[in-house]
Amino acid sequence: MAAATLSGRRDAGGGLVLVALDVDRESADGYTTPGQYVEVTAPGASGFFVLAGEPTAGSAAHTWELLVRNAGDAADLLVTRPLGSTVEVTHPIGTGLPGPLAEEAPVIVAVVGSALGLARPVMRLRVGAGHASSTELFIGLRAAVDLPLRDEVSAWADAGVRIVLCLSRAELEHHLDVVPRAERAAGYVQHAVARLGRSPIRIIAAGPDAMLAELRALSGADVVTNRG
């Protein structure tokens, strides 16, 4: 474990908070690939969080970002402790998402809720590499107004990423000001992806086990997650 300092925090929308942690150089160099995660601990609290910023290995950056829902002891701690407070963090866990992430080959990213934290560095990587037009992002929400990181998602859409908001409440005509370029689909992420009818298809996914199982069952689907 290593010490990390709570250095920033902002409301991300959708009931989520984007938390910044300053870490030491050795810890920063351990974050090499989107999909890695860390355990955060403090007296009486611990929890696992996916790293939601760009990899810090080999760069001057030493700040990690976590997209946190205020539910659970460790999440409460990250959301409520004063900035400047210290917590303990592990080095980044796991090898992250397998396979090349910044190649031109088409990729679908399918996430629900706070799992947008996993999608965030993938989207930045692909947009930065000039592959926005071959990238599709399906986001599962109850309603469009629940979308977190709204400005960032809008920027990805403006760059050429196809954004599909999958709305379980099926309120397709509500809150049309939320990412105006986005498409809307009624129902769950996996069903919207299935309706594409594509094979083969590469999907980077994070969300409930049932969603992942249904995506893996699609004909010709190559589904990758940070769970191995």
Q: What is the pLDDT of residues 23-75, one digit of tens each?
A: 999 999 999 999 999 999 988 889 999 999 999 999 999 999 999 997 778 89
Whether 112 and 185 map to the same domain: the answer is yes
Quote the percentage of the chain above a pLDDT of 90. 87
Confidence (pTM)? 0.95
Whether 64 and 111 map to the same domain: the answer is no
- SS3 at position 176: coil
pLDDT at residue 150 tops 60? yes
Q: What is the rounded average pLDDT of the residues 101-128?
A: 95
Which residues sit opposite 184 in a β-bridge? 165
In a domain, 77, yes or no: yes
What tokens were used for 186? 């009624």
Structural domain range at position 28: 2-89
pLDDT in tens, 53-64: 999 999 999 999
Structural domain count of the chain: 2
Whether 46 and 143 map to the same domain: the answer is no
Whether 83 and 111 map to the same domain: the answer is no
Angle in degrees, CA 175, 149, 133, rounded to 5 = 90
Whether 85 and 111 map to the same domain: the answer is no
Query: What is the arrangement of strands in the sheet containing 63-69, beginning at the earlier edge strand?
Result: 45-50, 37-42, 86-89, 2-13, 16-22, 63-69
pLDDT at residue 228 tops 60? no
Whether 39 and 124 map to the same domain: the answer is no
Quote the percentage of the chain above a pLDDT of 70. 100
CATH number of the domain at 151, please. 3.40.50.80
